[in-house]
Structure 1
Amino acid sequence: MNREWLAFVPVGLALFMVLLDVSVLNVALPRIAEDFHAKMSDLQWVLNAYTLTMVVLLVLAGRIGDMIRRDRYFLFGMGVFATGSFLCAQAWCIGSLIVFRAIQAVGGAILSGNTLAIATELFPPGKRGTVMGVNAVLVASSLALGPVIGGWITTHLGWHWVFYINVPVGIVSIILGTILLPPLGAKEKVPMDLTGTILLAIGLGSLTLGIIKGQDWGWDNQKTLSCFAVSLPYLTAFAIRELSYNYPILDLSLFRIRNFTVCVTALFITFFGISSSLFVIPYYLQGLKGLSAEDAGYWMLAIPFVNTFVAPLAGKLSDRINPKYMMCIGPLFFAWGMFNMTKISIGMGYWDFFFKLIPMGIGMGLITSPAFNVSMSSVPPAKAGMANGTIRSINTLAQAMGVAVGGVLVTQNMKRYLPGYENFVPDPGTMKVLIAISKFNPLPLIGMVEGFVDSIHYVFSVMMYLPLISSLIVFLFLRGGEHLKKAKNAGGGI
């Protein structure tokens, strides 16, 4: 194995762990609620504290990585994440768990906001495609495998081990990083833009809070509207600040780089679609089919399984053939997979469902790894961390928006079956109870179950058009030949 690949081992391990922590915790929430006698709103903040902190800090974390030794910064982030995980496992009440989740997310932002930048430094232009493919596999696998791993750990070891498991993995990653990572010196030594950081934190934080809480509060609720109203002037002030300041935390001129902007847009739409899909599917598997969270995870293995083969190959090919081809075809496969989901029924078997998901896994692999590769190769090396943090922040925001829009589509469609239906989506456990009761044939409950099935179909029938828009944007605007020429000039082409 090459030195570059050995050096990327602890980085990939850290990224997988950070991303896995987002999905793995969902399964443990009922046990946490039982131990701490927590309300649903408290449990939501266990998740929201992590998401909000990540979104607010990702751009800053990436920018700092451009200013200091990135290898040491990575080790520091891993230490913070492992410490935060240990504290979460030691939490004595729901409030302390929420605070420790935010600490954990600080480390997560440092790690997630620098992994693409580290890969960019370790691998020269023209040889980054495969590692970007591996990165895409880690992202997809963490989302799909979270329920399986979380379900097993919670069932056999207890919810504390969802956090404890991060500690030895973190220690191993720190040891390997110390041994294998070469010195990654600072690319730019400039003053920190504290004003821009504060403006971005308030603007993005308010926007994200409004998105993730809008479903609970109501989209026309004063609190939701206030979040959006606060975010707009702060984000506007941030943009003005960055355009006029000599040392911006986010150099908006990055978005003048055509390939970077096209790839960021394509990734945003992709992650939006992924999150809306992965939000709805558990309601089908756990609620309508009555599976446990762990079993539901096994039903979704088609996505990471296929992606494991497709993404590295697509990434490698993106340095050898025009990446526009794969980035145009990938969304078409993803849309095909979403169309397949409009045909699911309660009585569907495992393998039928497995094969219906395969196009989604292919589509994710074909678009994400080339997009990561092209976007990071198109920016100046001195701004790799800034670009990395921006990509991760936008993707995290897209995931939050996907969940919110998926919830809106479900509740709006339910009103066709139950006039006056409120703006909430019952948890899969409640849906499971409704399914059991409906077997005794009370007509309103039968209508509700049919409504949920149709609403899931409706979400996919609406969202399947987004990948088509992504494909069109790539086709019209991506300069794949420009990336390919750069890769070949660097010696990575055939």
Structure 2
Amino acid sequence: MDKSSPDGLPVPLRYGAVLTIILGIAMAVLDGTIANVALPTIARDLNASPASSIWIVNAYQIAIVISLLTLSFLGDMFGYRRVYQCGLVLFTLTSLLCALSDSLLTLTLARVAQGFGGAALMSVNTALIRLIYPHRSLGRGMGINSFVVAVSSAAGPTIAGAILSVASWQWLFLINVPLGIIALLLAMKFLPPNAARISRPKFDLPSAVMNALTFGLLITALSSFAQGQSTRLVVAEIIALLIIGGVFVRRQLRLPVPLLPVDLLRIPLFSLSIGTSLCSFCAQMLALVSLPFFLQTVLGRSEVETGLLLTPWPLATMVIAPLAGYLIERVHAGLLGAIGMAMMACGLFALALLPGSPSDIDIIWRMALCGAGFGLFQSPNNHTIITAAPQQRSGGASGMLGTARLLGQSTGAALVALMFNMFNTHGTHLSLLLAGTLATVAAIISGLRISQPKAE
């Protein structure tokens, strides 16, 4: 399809393209958490231990982290539309394989392949939004994207519970098949092609291998350290990470168009925005993983009460994220991000300092403050990351955006485990205080962007 204008798609086509992006990214994000609720059931059905069943979740996340930058580079090479369509095909087929799996091994392998499909969708979705929306309305597109990611991240357990109440765990994956087919048909009709380019960047296979090893080792080392595994193993993983990561970065510095976009990190606005993103997602995951333990073990709330008391966070994000997308057209993203992260930090510190027997209202307004702050921050920050990069490097910028989110979330989850292992009864309070500190750091870094010119 060559119906795209130089500055976005006309309105009838734009709606179809946006619906395609919403379906794809919602499925990819949802499948990171949708299986969590069913892990005990899946382990029992497949005769697997509870500990080994965790790989059903980990395999998906690790596959995304190690392949995200490679797939975003391929988007710059061959077109974001093509990578997105291939991702939809792979994700849909592997969702079917997940549902048909009859052992933990086959399900884990299917989840790895599904993770590669999800990574293809995540790697270029924001680059496609840059092609779909005219420049003057790009903030609105980023607001919608942030809204979908926030809802999908928070709604995973709820949707899983609804499906499991009427069907078997296989339907957690089978539901993706009709949705994937619909998204693929929409993608073939509505997604715009990349603008024609004079030269195509060359793909460097050694860089792709070292990228996978570097990020895979980083996640593994973080997890091993947090879970208190043997010091010898952790040290070995860190040494391997430093050696391979060092060679990887040096190689990227020599390439004209690197897989790890170190050239983009030389743009101050881009690098500050990536740093803010890392800190913010780390803070968010620290809070969201520790809060259920805090509410149940410290405050004595039930599982149902905990679920309801956590709901104001994603609800506030859902309301504020689209609004922030409109505000970015009028207010500097650095200022919006600093205010948003300061709000989130206040909410997190307020949660850590809750009285011994708080009322529901005491908890709800603090949760809502955190969610509203994160929603005010996320859309403008994503907008800045994409627009700070040259148009032809939108894939690399989109890949870095996704990588920063996943690394921040993985680090946050590992830090919660570390806090729990080191401080036992005080782990939840310290996790929330650390989350508040990281949100404060994110606010400061975001504030530094105000001196930078707005991305055009």
Q: Distance in 1 between matches of 2:44 and 2:305?
A: 22
Counterpart for residue 459 of structure 1: 431
Return the offset for 1:396. 0.6
Q: Distance in 1 between matches of 2:196 and 2:59?
A: 30
| Contact kept in structure 2, 1:273 and 1:466, CA below 8 Å | yes
Deviations 1:345-371 (A, max 9, x none): 786554443222011111111111101
Counterpart for residue 204 of structure 1: 215
| 1:189 maps onto 2:214 in alignment | no
Q: For residues 108 and 287 of structure 1, do their structure 2 counterparts lie closer, same or farther at Cα, with a shift above 3 Å needed?
A: farther
- 1:324-363 map, 5 Å: 324-344=334-354, 348=358, 350-363=360-373
Structure 2 counterpart of 1:482, one-letter code: K
Supply the RMSD in Å over aligned alpha carbons: 2.0
- 1:60-75 map, 5 Å: 60-75=70-85
- 1:107-146 map, 5 Å: 107-146=117-156
What is the TM-score normalised by the length of structure 2? 0.92
Partner of 1:320, secondary structure, is coil
Which stretch shows the higher mean deviation, 275-284 or 12-21? 275-284
Larger radius of gyration: 1
| 1:320 maps onto 2:292 in alignment | no
Counterpart for residue 214 of structure 1: 225
Partner of 1:24, secondary structure, is coil
What is the TM-score normalised by the length of structure 1? 0.85
Partner of 2:330, secondary structure, is coil
Return the offset for 1:70. 2.1
Structure 2 counterpart of 1:277, one-letter code: A
Return the offset for 1:120. 1.0
| Contact kept in structure 2, 1:267 and 1:371, CA below 8 Å | yes
Q: For residues 115 and 346 of structure 1, do their structure 2 counterparts lie closer, same or farther at Cα, with a shift above 3 Å needed?
A: farther
Partner of 1:156, secondary structure, is coil
Q: Distance in 1 between matches of 2:445 and 2:160?
A: 37
Counterpart for residue 377 of structure 1: 387
Q: Distance in 1 between matches of 2:265 and 2:39?
A: 39
Return the offset for 1:387. 1.2
| Contact kept in structure 2, 1:217 and 1:223, CA below 8 Å | no
Q: Distance in 2 between matches of 1:60 and 1:186?
A: 21
Partner of 1:116, secondary structure, is helix
- 1:78-157 map, 5 Å: 78-157=88-167
Deviations 1:414-467 (A, max 9, x none): 2xxxxxxxxxxxxxxxxxxxxxxxxxxxxxxxxxxxx3xx43122112321111
Structure 1 counterpart of 2:209, one-letter code: I
Q: Distance in 1 between matches of 2:449 and 2:80?
A: 33
- 1:260-271 map, 5 Å: 260-271=270-281
Q: For residues 295 and 146 of structure 1, do their structure 2 counterparts lie closer, same or farther at Cα, with a shift above 3 Å needed?
A: farther
Q: For residues 29 and 347 of structure 1, do their structure 2 counterparts lie closer, same or farther at Cα, with a shift above 3 Å needed?
A: farther
Return the offset for 1:324. 2.1
| Contact kept in structure 2, 1:338 and 1:360, CA below 8 Å | yes
Q: Distance in 2 between matches of 1:279 and 1:462?
A: 13
- 1:244-323 map, 5 Å: 244-285=254-295, 289=300, 291-292=302-303, 296-323=306-333
Gaps in structure 2 of 5+ consecutive residues: 1-10
Structure 2 counterpart of 1:208, one-letter code: I
Deviations 1:269-297 (A, max 9, x none): 010011111111222356664644x7644
Return the offset for 1:394. 2.1
Return the offset for 1:64. 0.4
Q: Distance in 1 between matches of 2:343 and 2:248?
A: 37
Gaps in structure 1 of 5+ consecutive residues: 415-450, 487-494
Q: Distance in 2 between matches of 1:114 and 1:41?
A: 34
Q: For residues 87 and 291 of structure 1, do their structure 2 counterparts lie closer, same or farther at Cα, with a shift above 3 Å needed?
A: farther
| Contact kept in structure 2, 1:145 and 1:297, CA below 8 Å | no
Q: For residues 102 and 141 of structure 1, do their structure 2 counterparts lie closer, same or farther at Cα, with a shift above 3 Å needed?
A: same
Q: Distance in 2 between matches of 1:315 and 1:309?
A: 11
